[in-house]
């Protein structure tokens, strides 16, 4: 409900004490010094934190680029390794080796001319 017709009673002034309009000059200086100290301390803490975060972000970005470059290089080298394995498989195939040996005028030796050597075993029960 809104009561528009009757004015509100005013509060009685406080118990005869005069109201302070502004703090004493010494208190103002002290408050100003405390604010300045607080600002300096906050700046001394916050500024290095911000610089540290920016530096960390830059290092992470640089590391990310390095990881991307290394990942690309690993993929390229893996493909090259697969190609080389295929080449080795093709070049070491028995039919290819046999054809190459024939082109080089190599012959299969007579089995009577082949001597198989058996080296002595150097194990726990044998004498060197």
Handedness of CA 97, 99, 104, 108 (dihedral sign): positive
Cβ neighbours for 126, distance < 8 A, ≥ 6 positions apart: 120
Element (H, E) at 108: none
pLDDT for the residue numbered 63: 95
pLDDT for the residue numbered 126: 62
Q: DSSP string of 62-96? A: HHHHHHHHHHHHHHHHHHHHHHHHHHHHHHT-HHH
Model confidence pTM above 0.85:
no
pLDDT in tens, 36-73: 999 999 999 999 999 999 999 999 999 999 999 999 99
What are the tokens at 106? 């190599």
CA 78/CA 70 separation, integer angstroms: 12
| Average pLDDT of the residues in 20-31 | 73
pLDDT in tens, 117-126: 988 887 666 6
CA 101/CA 103 separation, integer angstroms: 5
pLDDT for the residue numbered 79: 98
Helices (H), the chain: 25-91, 94-103
């Amino acid at each position: 409900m809104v009561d528009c017709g009757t004015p509100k009673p005013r509060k009685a002034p406080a118990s005869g004490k005069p109201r302070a309009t502004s703090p004493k000059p010494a208190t103002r200086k002290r408050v100003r010094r405390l604010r300045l100290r607080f600002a300096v301390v906050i700046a001394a803490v916050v500024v290095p934190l911000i610089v540290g975060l920016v530096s960390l972000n830059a290092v992470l970005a640089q590391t990310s680029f390095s990881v991307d470059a290394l990942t690309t290089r690993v993929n390229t080298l893996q493909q090259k390794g697969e190609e080389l394995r295929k080449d080795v498989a093709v070049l070491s195939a028995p039919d290819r080796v046999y054809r190459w040996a024939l082109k080089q005028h190599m012959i299969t030796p007579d089995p009577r001319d082949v001597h198989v050597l058996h080296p002595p075993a150097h194990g726990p029960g044998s004498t060197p």
